[in-house]
Amino acid sequence: MVDTYAVMGHPVAHSKSPFIHEQFAKQTHQAMQYLKIDVPEDKFLEYLTLFAFENGKGLNITAPFKQQAFSLMSEITDRAHIAKSVNTIKIMQDGRLFGDNTDGVGFIADLTNQHHFSLKEKSILILGAGGAARGLLYPILSQVPRCIMLANRTLLTAQNLADDYRPYGNILVSGLTNISGTYDLIINATSMIQQEVFTLNPSALTRNTFCYDLMYGQEPTPFLKWAVSNGATKISDGLGMLVEQAAESFFIWRGVKPETKYVIEKLKNPSVG
């Protein structure tokens, strides 16, 4: 029987993870299958226990279970511990659960490998203070940026998140509608839709600002449309980050690092190769 992996979340119907891991498995000649498991909101522990009992080898965890997964691990990496959130679980031979968070390294890998963008000495604006922003902060601070402004609709959430990360670097906070300053990189880590992006201050960007949206889709996202309409010339959605974080999970499970560029291209353009 081949080794079984899965993504657990709610909802997961839209998830591209099975496709991505199938591509990685083919490319690296790994005998494995990857499933999508939609978990009712109050049943995460039950589903996780059953998956491990049935000899499942590893999981990706997506919203809304990343924080709950964190609380259930027997062993955890430093980066997951700092983020208080787990997106990758490896089920060990003896049934113990090893947890990691690969979102931040996935983001940095996409920025570095695909976009050749260095964070060192850069001024960075992060929009949002939810789970995704939490996963990004430590990996970003490790790259020694000049400053980070964390802007969120609910100011108190941004303040609490910044307080958690004070030991690792200096972070300023702001509301979403009164952002001051101009930035080298703006990261959208909110789930804002079209209407709300127009409350952002366009003077936060210049034509050289790199605007990166964690969201992705067939169409340009509302944030990226806003960025372009305000003069940005360098933009990216979060598809590359999705593939890079998956590659890191795959490495944790299988010990082989797959090639990502081809898979990103294939997701953007399914007729590729």
Residues that bind ligand NAP (CB under 6 A): 63, 103, 128-133, 152-154, 157, 176, 189-192, 196, 214-216, 238, 241-242, 245
Residue 2 or 186: which CB sits closer to ligand NAP?
186
Q: How far is the CB of 10 from ligand NAP (least distance, A)?
A: 13
| C-alpha closest to that of 244 among 24, 36, 26, 92 | 24
Residue 128 or 145: which CB sits closer to ligand NAP?
128
Helix, strand, or coil (residue 165)? helix
Which stretches does DSSP call E strand in 58-156? Answer: 58-61, 75-76, 88-91, 97-100, 123-127, 147-152
Rounded Cα gap, residues 37 and 207, in angstroms: 42
Rounded Cα gap, residues 266 and 260, in angstroms: 10
Out of 36, 57, 66, 268, which one is annotated catalytic?
66
Under 8 Å between Cβ of 145 and 122? yes
φ, ψ at 110 (rounded to 5°): -65, -45
What sign results for the dihedral spanned by CA atoms 121, 80, 11, 60? Answer: positive
Phi-psi region of 38 (alpha: psi -120 to 50; beta: other; left: phi over 0): beta
Q: How far is the CB of 161 from ligand NAP (least distance, A)?
A: 9
Mark whether 66 is an active-site residue: yes
Residue 64 or 231: which CB sits closer to ligand NAP?
64
Q: Which residue has the tokens 């049935």?
A: 54
Q: How far is the CB of 273 from ligand NAP (least distance, A)?
A: 23
Residue 98 or 107: which CB sits closer to ligand NAP?
107
Rounded Cα gap, residues 13 and 72, in angstroms: 25
Sort 240 into a burial class: Cβ within 10 Å, 0-12 / 13-18 / 19+: buried
Residue 2 or 192: which CB sits closer to ligand NAP?
192
Tokens for 267, please give them: 């997701």
Q: How far is the CB of 270 from ligand NAP (least distance, A)?
A: 19
Residue nearest to ligand NAP (CB): 130
Q: How far is the CB of 2 from ligand NAP (least distance, A)?
A: 26
Q: How far is the CB of 221 from ligand NAP (least distance, A)?
A: 9
Residue 92 or 113: which CB sits closer to ligand NAP?
113
Rounded Cα gap, residues 14 and 34, in angstroms: 15
Catalytically active residues, by annotation: 66
